[in-house]
Amino acid sequence: MSDLLAPGPTRVVGVLNVTPDSFSDGGRHTGDPVARGVALRAAGADLVDVGGESTRPGATRVDPAEELRRVLPVVEGLVAAGVPVSVDTMRAATARAAVAAGAVVVNDVSGGLADEDMAATVAGLDCVYVLSHWRGASDVMGSLAVYGHVVDEVRAELTARLHAVTSAGVARERVVLDPGLGFAKTAEHDWALLAGLDDLAGLGLPLLVGASRKRFLGALLAVDGEVPPPSGRDAATAAVSALAAARGVWGVRVHDVPSSVAAVKVATAWAAARGGVPA
């Protein structure tokens, strides 16, 4: 686990949805998700993030037992294949089972707010904890996208959640922060948060950026009102990956791994040529 947070190039976290209703792939990888995860690793993913519950806008919660049924065999299969695994869950029970099966990261998009047992559970696990900014569930988050100054407020709310989870026993040095792009955010908010990554980095913890295929990129690429499908946003995602890597973020969470692996390599080489100075 310690190697995950050691200094080094920006990590590429490959997304593996084992849901029938993902916004990005519509359940395309539910047939043989272990093979898909192995392929993501072979393509250069440093971690494969396995999720069994869609968090797309408007989604409702899946039954806890169903989430575990979807996730656990995939985590076990990937670990057996030597793939470093992250589990994308808002439930303490799923996190506990996945880490017991070999997952090394718990990626909680709710920052511990969706399950009051999450912080105490993670405190007792040997894993990295990704704590995201979140204001409410997917079916109501659109109404919560109201900010006076989004960077300041997200930073303050992340600080409050960080205090809550460390007070519950989670070691600060095991925490990665995620600004939660698209979660109770408009496109304008997402761009402001990307522009404000240096301010968020001022909290002194690694950052994970999850921009991949999200609506704000679709809106940016729209032509005559025609928004490209999620898979048509991978080039824009890779551009964000390069820019985020140039700012020194710990990781980028993406669906198309090869393009972001290349983007991170470019940003890393560019920074090295500048003497390690961020662009």
DSSP line for 140-191? TGGGG---SSHHHHHHHHHHHHHHHHHHTT--GGGEEEE--TTSS--HHHHH
Q: Compute the half-sphere exposure of residue 262: CA atoms within 13 Å on the CB side of its CA.
A: 8
The catalytic residue among 161, 185, 215, 253 is 253
Radius of gyration (C-alpha) of the chain in whole angstroms? 17
What's the CA gap between 203 and 178, in Å, rounded?
Answer: 12
Helices (H), the chain: 33-42, 64-80, 92-100, 118-123, 150-167, 187-195, 197-201, 215-221, 234-246, 257-273
96 is catalytic: no
Centroid of chain to Cα 24: 14
| Sign of the torsion formed by the C-alpha atoms of 183, 186, 48 and 129 | negative
Can 233 be counted among the known catalytic residues? no
3-state secondary structure of 21: coil
Active-site position among 214, 215, 233, 247: 214
Exposed / middle / buried, residue 29 (Cβ in 10 Å: 0-12, 13-18, 19+):
buried
The residues carrying an active-site annotation are 214, 253
